[in-house]
Chain A
Amino acid sequence: MTGHPRPDGRFGVRDHVLVLPSVVCSTNAAERIARESGAVAITHQHGCLHVGDDLRHTERALIGTATNPNVGAVVVVSLGCETIQGRRLARRIEDRGQRVAFVGIQAEGGTERAVAAGVAAVGELRAVLDAIPPEPLPAAAVTVGIDRPRDPLAPALTAALAGRGWAVVDAPGDLSAAESHVALAAAGAQVIVSLRGPGEAPLGFAVCPVIAVARDPALYAALRDDFDLPDEDAERTVADVVARVDATLAGEPTASERRGARDFVLRRLAMTM
């Protein structure tokens, strides 16, 4: 098993260049950069007119996602006048030891120039990442996230995953699944195990493979293409999840990666001004 060594000593199990809009106004430019360069982008509706805790929380979520070990490099795409200033965001991501390029729509002089600059930046960063050979992946460098700690399966699953020498992190129980994926990614999880109950369709996340486990037989039957594992008895499911994490670490795409799902949902802590 190999991984992608990062400057801070962590390992990625994927090697993404992430195109990160600092604000909703630059999401279209970010998406175009990703599409034209083969990078991944996050689409979100935040970045402007936040106040107080809501501002700090949003900035922390963006920085956390951008510094997940599966992200080898980041292109921050800014508008220029937004509350979460793109240049400051890029600097704070860089301060965490990440490779960062910055593109500003107002600074470059419009969408077209920003897209061209962004595509060029992705190309340069991709070349840097591609020149770094993978290294053996120590078990202790793996963190697996679980998005529903209150699921009855969670304790046995946590024990089994920890038994492989992997770190396990779970999300606060009051977060929705999609919100918790952001939190888990920010906490450094390279793989997310998502436990989905009745009526809950599987989700994906841009920078982390999500292993979707059905916790309801009817749900699995209805949406089987988007699930990685069916609802089985607890012992079997735990063993299957561990095996599926192994395969994911080895590079096998999860269902979420195959369909290109990259749902990014951030909880707001205050109204938008």
Chain B
Amino acid sequence: MTELTGYRRANGTWGVRNHLLVLPARTAANRAAEEIADAVEGAVAVTHEWEGAPGDPDAELVARTLTGFAANPNVGAVLLVGIDDADRALAGAIAGRGQTVHLVAMAEHGGTAGTVAAGREIAERLRAAIADWPREPMPISALAVGLECGGSDALSGITANPALGIASDRLVAAGATTMLSEVPELVGAEEILAARAVSDEVARRMVAVVHDFERAVEALGVDIRGAQPTPGNIDGGLTTIEEKSLGAAKKAGNAPLTGVIEFAAPGPPDPPGLYVMDTPGHDIEQMVGLVAGGCQIVAFTTGRGTPTGSAIAPCLKISTNTAIFERMAGDIDLDAGRILTGEETLQSMGDRIHDALLAVANGETTASERRGNREFAIRRTHY
């Protein structure tokens, strides 16, 4: 077993990266946050579409998402770029999770230019303060890995997803946490997961989270088949959402289902184990939810090929077929298409993914990290 190392945080969590995150509290701070991160070596920024209008019914969900993202243990310190005093609440919530956070408010610096100048100085200081944070031996129980698929094809449920399931089972057996997500892509697979639940209550919640989604879709009066499967899924040979779901659920292997948690639930969950997080199928909204829930790494299978990455969490990409791996070599890390050619078995590929996840935890970079991918999206539920 590979020994894990990571960054031990003051609040008891463990990071596998040591980022300085420059986070805009609201849309109007996007530009300043980007400029600060561009100017400071080792700083990363995300931008987003949250304006923070007073009375917005999604305020709590968005606050939880931004707070969780900032509190992810891969982040050593946060520079929150706000507008005015109204943003102190978010800074307080991040600090309340045991994260180091400094708020720079645009209204105290005359606007963007002054904020960038002041923010750069603070960011340099924060960066210097975390730069020498040592890597120490890290317990595997502190590791949480998100299980995601995007741009699925007919091979997803045959190669990459079951291989990732084997890796997930090994991680869970060793005491780590893995998180399956994308509830719309579990429609039709809910009973399979519920049957593995550790309790009747968890089984009930597993079924309920899928049925609640189905009822919400009915209430909208729309046909989910307009969006699921996507045009790319259909080109890739998938025919129905149920077929997609049965393949998507394979990412969770055969481990017992320990719990069902809400979007961006403050993590990591206790006890460790396999969890289902209630997220949309949207690749980026769910990735942000998983990372905000404490996942330090996201394992991401893809049939059609996608460059997706997070600003603060390595995203390990696994292709379902060799053709896309070769076409998009710079964006994908591992090729589970080798199972089809007989070069690998499901078990050997699962072991390979498992080992790659531990290597990534220990500092090996993924394709999306080398490319600097940092897609970000905020889930909205009120319209």
Residues of chain B lying within 8 A (CB to CB) of residue A271: 216, 220, 280, 380-381, 383
Residues of chain B lying within 8 A (CB to CB) of residue A255: 111
The secondary structure that dominates the B interface is: loop
Say whether B220 contacts A51, CB under 8 Å.
yes
Residues of chain B lying within 8 A (CB to CB) of residue A55: 226-227
A-B contact count (CB 8 A): 203
The CA-CA distance from A50 to B228 in the complex, in Å, is 9
Say whether A110 contacts B51, CB under 8 Å.
no
Closest A residue to B332 using CB positions: A110
Residues of chain B lying within 8 A (CB to CB) of residue A259: 31, 111-113
Of the residues A28, A105, A267, contact of B383 by C-beta under 8 Å? A267
The secondary structure that dominates the A interface is: loop
Residues of chain B lying within 8 A (CB to CB) of residue A269: 383
B308 contacts A by Cβ under 8 Å:
yes
Say whether A48 contacts B230, CB under 8 Å.
yes
Say whether A45 contacts B307, CB under 8 Å.
no
A126 contacts B by Cβ under 8 Å:
no
Say yes or no: A265-B306 contact (C-beta < 8 A), given A225-B111, A272-B282. Answer: no
Residues of chain B lying within 8 A (CB to CB) of residue A224: 110-111
The CA-CA distance from A225 to B231 in the complex, in Å, is 46
CB distance from A112 to the nearest CB of B (A): 5
Say yes or no: A79-B228 contact (C-beta < 8 A), given A25-B284, A45-B48, A267-B383. Answer: no
A43 contacts B by Cβ under 8 Å:
yes
B124 contacts A by Cβ under 8 Å:
no
The CA-CA distance from A178 to B53 in the complex, in Å, is 11
A273 contacts B by Cβ under 8 Å:
yes
Residues of chain A lying within 8 A (CB to CB) of residue B372: 28
Say yes or no: A105-B307 contact (C-beta < 8 A), given A28-B371, A49-B228, A201-B29. Answer: yes
Surface stretch bound by B, among A61-69, A81-89, A135-143, A163-171: A81-89
Say whether B222 contacts A270, CB under 8 Å.
yes
Say whether A109 contacts B235, CB under 8 Å.
no
Say whether A111 contacts B282, CB under 8 Å.
no
Cβ contacts A75-113/B at 8 Å (1 or 0 each): 000011111010000000000000000000110011110
B residues neighboring A (CB under 8 Å) = 26-31, 47-49, 51, 53-54, 83-84, 86, 106-108, 110-114, 150-151, 184, 216-217, 220-224, 226-228, 230-233, 235-236, 280-285, 304-309, 324, 327-331, 371-381, 383
